[in-house]
Structure 1
Amino acid sequence: MELYRGSSTNQMDYNDDGRGPKSGKMLASNDERLDSGLDSLKEEECTDVVVSDFGRMSMAERQDEPWRKVLTEDGDTYLHLAIIHEAKEAALKMIHLSCGDPFLNIQNNQRQTALHLAVITEQPLLVEQLLKAGCDASLVDDCGNTALHISCRKGSLACFGLLTQGCPQQLPAILQTPNYNGQKCIHVVAIQGYLSLLESLIQFGAHINAQEQCNGRTALHLAVDLQNFELVKLLITKGADVHSFTYGGHTPYHLTYGRANTDIQKVLYELTAPHLRELPDSESEDNDEDYEDQCISDDEDIYDDIKMMGQV
């Protein structure tokens, strides 16, 4: 499936992390990592530490599981570190030795599980193996994001597919889980403009008219806000309610006032009942600045500096 991201102009900063970066490592893009810790291990050095320490353990030692009890000062396990630094072989060994074990669901100080980190670093093989081994996809990080929220924001087709198909019993609940900015997965996808992922979420049972909790916008309201005509058309085709109200009493058509895209305004004008076309008398509670103040965040996936066995 090819990822289709609908065109969007004047896109606002609708991010769903909920917090700025802590001191530590952050993933600035798919290939670039920024290290703000002066004494942190370099990536190659950390990978060597994880692989060599784990590799030196005899099978008897592995069965005694001492490596499962080791945590860094940031709450990371050996598995967290192996995933962060893409030491794939070491990560796979630990996953295979931990099937059904609570070790797989240990959350670090940012409440990230191994599954969160595998999605952040876009390693679908590890996502697949973690799910098969029993990792809980419903757990949320310290911003309230499930692993699926993160894959929706990143637009990772492979991880998205594995998460939506690999935990069928948990998926309905995950789709209804808002993060701490009040956004469900369908809102995250709408904000990012990923049309194909939005279609898939609807097929999997996401509620097309679900309201985000900051001020009651639906995916259609967000599409109008972001002036994404392709997304507006798709949502209407899929049955989005053009008469849905925000908490401030505004329909999607109301949000076209003062906006540049007249095509969106024309389409919604024709579909909106005449008595709902006029703006309500009360002052809008849905202006962009208010929304950004409520839901401001950084668009980076972050994880902390590394400290292993007392060494940095």
Structure 2
Amino acid sequence: MDVHRAAMMNYVDCDVDEMDTKNRKMQHCEDRVDSGVDSLKEDEYRKIVEEMETLSLPGPSVNKGMCESWTEDVTEDGDTYLHLAIIQEAEDYAIQIIKQCQNDPFLNRQNNQRETALHLAVITDQPHMVARLLKAGCDPRLVDQSGNTALHIACKRGSLACFSVLTQTQIQTQHLHSILSFPNYSGHTCLHIAAINNYLSMVESLVQLGADVNAKEQCSGRTSLHLAVDLQNLDLVHTLVALGADVNSLTYGGYTPYHLTFGRQNSEIQRQLYTRTAQELRAMPESESEESDEECFSDDDCMYDDIQFCGR
């Protein structure tokens, strides 16, 4: 895999605070968050290691906007030397680069999958590297091509160690509220992702950190409790109800979590939600399509004569 110099003219930071018009776009491509993880052959890896060993890394610079030539070197996948060091878990090299690039935009460089070094540190489950990157100036609000921040990925992969660092590091907590409320391009917040993957401890922690337990995913308006019913996950239902989930919350189609229990096998979920759902919301909402059909056929204006062709 040849390493070539790129001008990075197309590099654009994706900040969750500036993406109100973007966060509803769906990505119709295969979810890929591994960049070059495990994709290098042994001889290619040795070649990169040799090149990294020849890098001239002076002491940490106090000036921002460093112009070292090697910072512009990227692979065909858009990975920088920092990306590669983290992917291959070459900790010593990664630490040297991070020290040289304190608070430099280079730390937030994104590859072709729009993954930053912080995304890759979470993907490879390196919590110590996550902490170093955050302290060095990595922006935790940047998102990949699927709209996921590093915290979204930690919730998806169930990485408790990385989750802890991302939610407890002082730098991260400055942006934590906006990240917790930010949906990815599938409309899911971190809480939705943790619920879907049945990470109950993360679900509890996210709500305690300020995540809205009644946040609706943007596709159909389901809350985490609706999703728990869809998954027929009784433990998750119990957890969310205990955390204050609104059993009367309606989807965009007007369905409560109780409505979603119909036709499902877990009668215990149905029983528990029935007793908690407001009486006036227990009946299934009528289909809008049926109503419109009945309205049409009962209206004299909807009747018409046989179609005539050429006056016949």
Query: TM-score, with normalisation over the residues of structure 1?
Result: 0.77
Cα RMSD (Å): 2.2
Q: Hey, what does 1:57 align to over in structure 2? A: 55
Q: Hey, what does 1:111 align to over in structure 2? A: 114
Match of 2:217, SS? coil
| Contact 1:51-1:87 at 8 Å conserved across structures | no
Give structure 1 stretches of 5+ with no counterpart. Answer: 1-15, 28-32, 36-40, 285-312
Q: Hey, what does 2:195 align to over in structure 1? A: 190
Q: Hey, what does 1:20 align to over in structure 2? A: 30
Match of 2:173, SS? coil
Q: Work out the CA distance in 1 between the residues paired with 2:224 and 2:148.
A: 18
Cα 1:140–1:50, aligned 2, differ >3 Å: closer, same or farther? Answer: same
Of residues 199, 210, 219 in structure 2, which corresponds to 1:214?
A: 219
Deviations 1:208-241 (A, max 9, x none): 0000000000000000000000000011111100
Q: Hey, what does 2:160 align to over in structure 1? A: 157
Deviations 1:231-274 (A, max 9, x none): 00011111100000000100000000000001100100100111
> How far has the Cα of 1:87 moved from its partner?
1.5
Q: Hey, what does 2:88 align to over in structure 1? A: 85
Cα 1:18–1:241, aligned 2, differ >3 Å: closer, same or farther? Answer: farther
Of residues 229, 232, 237 in structure 2, which corresponds to 1:224?
A: 229
Bigger relative contact order (CA 8 A; separation at least 6): 1
Q: What fraction of aligned residue pairs are identical, expressed as a percent?
A: 56
Match of 1:217, SS? coil
Of residues 210, 213, 216 in structure 2, which corresponds to 1:205?
A: 210
> How far has the Cα of 1:18 moved from its partner?
6.1
> How far has the Cα of 1:139 moved from its partner?
0.3
Give structure 2 stretches of 5+ with no counterpart. Answer: 1-25, 62-66, 290-312
Q: Hey, what does 1:272 align to over in structure 2? A: 277
- Counterpart AA for 2:77: D
> How far has the Cα of 1:50 moved from its partner?
3.3
Q: Hey, what does 1:169 align to over in structure 2? A: 174
- Counterpart AA for 1:49: K
Deviations 1:68-108 (A, max 9, x none): 11122222111111111222211111111111000000011
| Contact 2:59-2:100 at 8 Å conserved across structures | no
Q: Does 2:147 align with 1:144? A: yes
In the alignment of these two chains, the number of paired residues is: 256
Q: Work out the CA distance in 2 between the residues paired with 1:211 and 1:141.
A: 22
Q: Hey, what does 1:124 align to over in structure 2? A: 127
- Counterpart AA for 1:243: N
Match of 1:186, SS? helix
Q: Work out the CA distance in 2 between the residues paired with 1:61 and 1:197.
A: 39
> How far has the Cα of 1:26 moved from its partner?
6.8
